[in-house]
Amino acid sequence: MARRRQEIALQAEIETQEEWNEAINKDGLTVVDIYQAYGGPCKAMEPKFRTIKNTLGDAILNFAIAKADTIDSLEKHRGRCEPCFLFYATGVLVDAVIGANAPELQRKIMLNLEEEKRILKEGGERREFIFQQIDQDEDEEVDPRLQRHRSSSVANAITSQQYTLAVIRPDAYADGKVDEIVETITQNGFKILVQEEHHLNEHDARELHRYKMNQEGYEEHIARMTSGPSVVLLLQKTDAKASTVDDLRELVNSDELLKTNVDYTPSTDNIHDELMLLLPHIARRPRTPEENLERTLAIIRPSALKLYKDAIIDRIRDSGFEVTRTLEIQLTRQQVEEFYASKKNEPYYEDIIQEMTRYK
């Protein structure tokens, strides 16, 4: 019984705006699983969170689940079927993970927890995370910086993922080497789409150089990267042998000036995350016609699932709909009642409830 109580207590259950405000404003790091009433929280991550909590034993690390349907602050997240985890550090949204990606969740929990412990001990400003996926759906005025910097060439490079990032280190900036470095890069066939000064804080520097965490001199490098302004370059090479990312890596490693003064994106796997970190106003893009498509949800009833699932999906596609995701779940009675709340006064309401919950 004691074990069961401990499991229940691991994630605080949040269903009201008042509970939400209280949970995210706790001192420390709070990781919140945002869920929809019809789908429920991501149960698959509970064991991982429990292991992390038990291993660290850190009192300032908290976990919670929050129902988007009943919390005003989560209105933007309603109707989204993919798992969503938000990281709040003493009231500030500092990170997010979309999807049940256990390694990424663990990495970001460790990184943000260490940063929050440092801030609570030494002071400092928390860097607010810009939730790009949600913000892209809003009908709002475009940031003037976006209008100024986001030319068609930048937009095309980002859309096609034919770009890479380079950071000229603070030492090189202070020593007046920026022009020489830029000239070396452009002479080797790279086009500079964006060039901006950027002063990295410790959180950003660690996030940017996380692949160097186990290398000798890592802490000294972080200290150098936060010591003053850097210069961020968004680059493209249209005639790249493999990719723009690979060609820049090859160039930096073969040129002594660049090798000692420039950091670069090591892989295409994390190129978008680094763009969001260093140039968030550039990464944010106007909605495409595809993104303006209306989305909806359909549930195949249990009695029809085994016999007619494929035929039903084919019929939906043949009618002009795009099926972006399918998911099989066992709904609880409470979830079904919430989903069919608008049918509560209909004579067939109880039949629907029984139909949707009787198959195990």
In this prediction, residues 9-31 reach a mean pLDDT of 92
Q: Can you tell me which residue has the tokens 């400092």?
A: 124
Q: CATH 3.40.30.10 occupies which residues in the chain?
A: 2-129
Query: Please, what CATH class does the domain formed by 2-129 belong to?
Result: alpha beta
Range among 99-103, 289-293, 350-354 with highest mean pLDDT value: 350-354
Per-residue pLDDT reduced to its tens digit, 107-164: 889 988 988 998 888 888 887 876 644 444 444 444 444 343 445 567 666 666 678 8
pTM of the model: 0.44
Per-residue pLDDT reduced to its tens digit, 55-68: 888 889 999 999 99
Q: CATH 3.30.70.141 occupies which residues in the chain?
A: 140-289
**Quick one: pLDDT band at residue 5, thresholds 50, 70, 90?**
very low
pLDDT reading at 276 higher than 60: yes
Q: Which CATH number fits domain 140-289: 1.20.1070.10, 3.90.1150.60, 3.20.20.120, 3.30.70.141?
A: 3.30.70.141
Torsion angle, CA of 18/20/22/23, rounded to 10 degrees?
160
How far apart CA 82 and CA 89 sit, in angstroms, is 23
Give the H/E segment covering residue 228: none
Collapse the DSSP code of 347 into the 3-class scheme (helix H, G, I; strand E, B; otherwise coil) and give the result.
Answer: coil
Helices (H), the chain: 2-10, 17-24, 46-56, 102-122, 132-135, 144-149, 152-160, 170-174, 178-187, 202-208, 218-225, 244-254, 256-261, 271-278, 280-283, 302-318, 333-339, 349-357
Give the H/E segment covering residue 191: strand 191-198
Per-residue pLDDT reduced to its tens digit, 177-208: 999 999 999 999 898 888 888 888 888 888 88
